[in-house]
Structure 1
Amino acid sequence: MTILQTRKNWLWLFLMLVLLTNMMLYSTSFGHTIIPQESNGVVLGSLIDFIIIAPLVFMLAKKKFSIKLMIGLMAAGCVLARLIIPQTMLAPYSSFTAFGIAAEIIIVAFEMLVISSFILYLPKIIKSTRTSDMPLLFAFPQAVDQHIKRRPMLHVLCSELLMFYYALFSWRQQAPAGYTLHKKTSYIAFQFMMIHAIVIETLGIHWWLHSKYPIVSVILLALNIYSVLFFLADLQAMRLNPAQIRNGTLYVSLGLMKRAKIPLSQITQMTTNVSEEKLPKNIAQFIVKDFEAGKPSVILHCDKPVAITLPFGIEKHYHQIAIKVDDAPAFIEELKTGV
């Protein structure tokens, strides 16, 4: 583990400690015994933790720094403080939390405006998606970016719509020609095993939990339903999106978890005889996780960094991409022809 990764883990641990200690302070009998009768100083310290310390630690851990993000996190901290700290103790500082709630309402209203613009442009987005020569998994996000200014909320919404589409409306589609990544692995068996486990857990625990903690049971049920839909969608996205070479571009995806479009003109070298199974972290991997580690069929070396899109539109850039397909010789041969 690198020093940077260790530092990041410590930051996340510190953030969890800050939040948990404050929750224990106001939500447990032990916490109530150590709060002095004059609690203004304690409450002020908690507000500093929620509004200043926690946002700063979060940005340090994520390595993302912006005024907009800081304001959003501070507003969220005010809302969290209002939920955790008893109102009688929080009364002297109610103006702080009121400001945070107002800021949070403004942020949510702005995001709702963005979503409204997405709905307004949806017919054009669908038309652009249908006329595109790219696979749907790539065409839909590009159509969204084409018609609406790029915003994080839109990437999240785009990911969710793709998830619901593949989970509910793609079952009659036939897989196009291409190079599959999953047929010689236990991927499908693993997906169904996870779905089976979630269904059994839901049936076994939900009714018992509902009689004791109804709100928790409803939240757990919603999460379980979402999880089942996600596993089904990921399976369908994997099946319907094999690696394809179209118009001088390689389209490769790992279900809903990862995708990339790689112009063949950017490929400067291909390594086909890969001996090691554990690859360095600076290599993007399109290798289906199996019970045994698999060696990539080829590692592509690119002269420019290639954008790898993760869930919710998060992008990372790599110069090297490792790919494992079921029919490696044919895939490598077509790559060599295109390059």
Structure 2
Amino acid sequence: MTLLRKISSPSFVLLSFISLYVLGSSNIFSAHPSQFSNLITADVLLTIPFVYLILIRKTDIPKFTVVPVTIIGVVLASYIIPTEHQTVLRLFKTWVLPIIELGIISFVLFKVVKTIKYFHSIKTTKTDFFDLLKKTSSETFSKPISIFLATEIAVIYYGFIYWKKRALKPNEFTYHKTSGSVGLFIAFILIIAAETIGLHAILLESKPTIAWILTILSIYSLIQALGFVKSILKRPISIENDKLYLRYGIMKESIVDIKNIDKVEITSKDLEEKSETKKLSLLGNLESHNLILHFNEEQTMTSLYGMTKNYKSLAISIDQKECFKSEIEKVQQMLTNL
């Protein structure tokens, strides 16, 4: 029944919106715009959100999703209903919607601050802030929204809040010193900064709106790049019990069972153009690798904003490659002896 509710809730919303669109395009609506405008307004503001809330009540779909459903309905109704019949919609958009937006922003900020405080209060090497943030977000928002939100918050956290030097534990391994990743990102940041200043100066007099839009987008890209760079320094690869936590900042990660590792190959040889071996990096062949992990079965790597990719061989860079290989083999030997 729960699965049926999960399937039926988005179907109900989609069919409802399609029905309203068809109604708004019909001759019946044209003949009686006032009456049907009131009906559509009541549907998007009351009926559809209420029925949707009932459908998701006993599922794990966050109740918060009723807000975007309502907002999408309001947008659709604004498109369907003639301007002269949008009095109630205008009142909603002018007075109610800003309150909802402020409530959402306040709630998100509260959860972020609470997560950061909790992260700093716990004294354990096994807790990673990005992992904790994803878990907290998923408890409140649907998966696509939670992953997007967690990534954007992590960019700000690692870029501007987390400045304390991170002490490396015996089970942790850095990967930025030999790969050249940090240097490449810094070069990328400098290029964007220089181009932003130059382009802004060129366009400011003739096309000021475009100049400011491009400048804001460039600043956002700089903020992201800074967050990415610092997350590389703060999120080492780690071996914890019988699992290997492969990380590339907040951009890529994969959690694998060490028993599934077939071989750890120390090599810096360039990958062939059509090689099936994937790389634990964001910039591909621009970054070097010095190890290739071969697995007995396919593993899954998660990239930015929840995108996934399967692999059986993974090229990585480890600053302490010999030590890393030795630790993996020790765990494998231990698991064999159990």
- TM category (shorter chain) comes to 0.5 to 0.7
CA deviations 1:137-156 (Å, max 9, x no partner) are 333213433x3354211111
What corresponds to 2:175 in structure 1?
181
What corresponds to 2:327 in structure 1?
334
CA contact (8 A) 1:287 1:296 kept: no
Greater CA drift, 275-284 or 187-196: 275-284
CA deviations 1:277-327 (Å, max 9, x no partner) are 237564432157487663541313044x43322111223343443322122
What corresponds to 1:263 in structure 2?
257
CA contact (8 A) 2:290 2:321 kept: no
Distance in 1, Cα, partners of 2:329 & 2:100: 48
Cα 1:167/1:295, change in 2 over 3 Å: closer
Cα 1:270/1:301, change in 2 over 3 Å: same
CA contact (8 A) 1:181 1:287 kept: no
What corresponds to 2:197 in structure 1?
203
Q: Does 1:285 align with 2:279?
A: yes
What corresponds to 2:7 in structure 1?
none
Distance in 2, Cα, partners of 1:232 & 1:319: 31
Distance in 2, Cα, partners of 1:122 & 1:110: 18
Distance in 1, Cα, partners of 2:111 & 2:193: 37
Secondary structure (helix, strand or coil) at the match of 1:216 reads helix
CA deviations 1:218-256 (Å, max 9, x no partner) are 211111111111111111111111211123221221123
Q: Give the count of matched residue pairs.
A: 248
Pick one of 309, 312, 316 that aligns with 2:309. 316
CA deviations 1:73-117 (Å, max 9, x no partner) are xx89x98xx8xxxxxxxxxx887xx9xxx9xx9xxx999998776
Secondary structure (helix, strand or coil) at the match of 1:211 reads coil
CA contact (8 A) 2:266 2:321 kept: no
CA contact (8 A) 2:232 2:250 kept: yes
What corresponds to 1:4 in structure 2?
none
Secondary structure (helix, strand or coil) at the match of 1:144 reads helix
Alignment-mate amino acid for residue 334 of structure 1: E
Pick one of 228, 231, 235 that aligns with 1:234. 228
CA contact (8 A) 2:252 2:281 kept: no
What corresponds to 1:33 in structure 2?
none
What corresponds to 2:161 in structure 1?
169
TM-score by length of 1: 0.59
Distance in 2, Cα, partners of 1:118 & 1:281: 42
Distance in 1, Cα, partners of 2:255 & 2:102: 31
Secondary structure (helix, strand or coil) at the match of 1:278 reads coil
Distance in 2, Cα, partners of 1:129 & 1:328: 30
Secondary structure (helix, strand or coil) at the match of 2:175 reads coil
Secondary structure (helix, strand or coil) at the match of 2:244 reads strand
What corresponds to 2:133 in structure 1?
140
Secondary structure (helix, strand or coil) at the match of 2:168 reads coil
The alignment's C-alpha RMSD in Å is 4.0
CA contact (8 A) 1:277 1:295 kept: no
Distance in 2, Cα, partners of 1:207 & 1:259: 39
Distance in 2, Cα, partners of 1:262 & 1:204: 46
Alignment-mate amino acid for residue 153 of structure 1: I
Distance in 1, Cα, partners of 2:238 & 2:312: 20
Greater CA drift, 328-337 or 126-135: 126-135
Alignment-mate amino acid for residue 240 of structure 2: R
Cα 1:271/1:186, change in 2 over 3 Å: closer
Structure 1 segments unaligned to the other structure (5+ residues):
1-71, 83-92
Greater CA drift, 136-145 or 326-335: 136-145
Structure 2 segments unaligned to the other structure (5+ residues):
1-68, 94-98, 333-338
Distance in 1, Cα, partners of 2:133 & 2:288: 31
CA contact (8 A) 1:270 1:299 kept: yes
Q: Identical aligned pairs, as a percentage? A: 20
CA deviations 1:153-179 (Å, max 9, x no partner) are 111111000000011011223252322
TM-score by length of 2: 0.59
Q: CA deviation at 1:118?
A: 5.0
CA contact (8 A) 1:179 1:331 kept: yes
Q: CA deviation at 1:334?
A: 0.5
Pick one of 287, 302, 306 that aligns with 2:299. 306
Distance in 1, Cα, partners of 2:282 & 2:323: 19
Alignment-mate amino acid for residue 165 of structure 1: Y
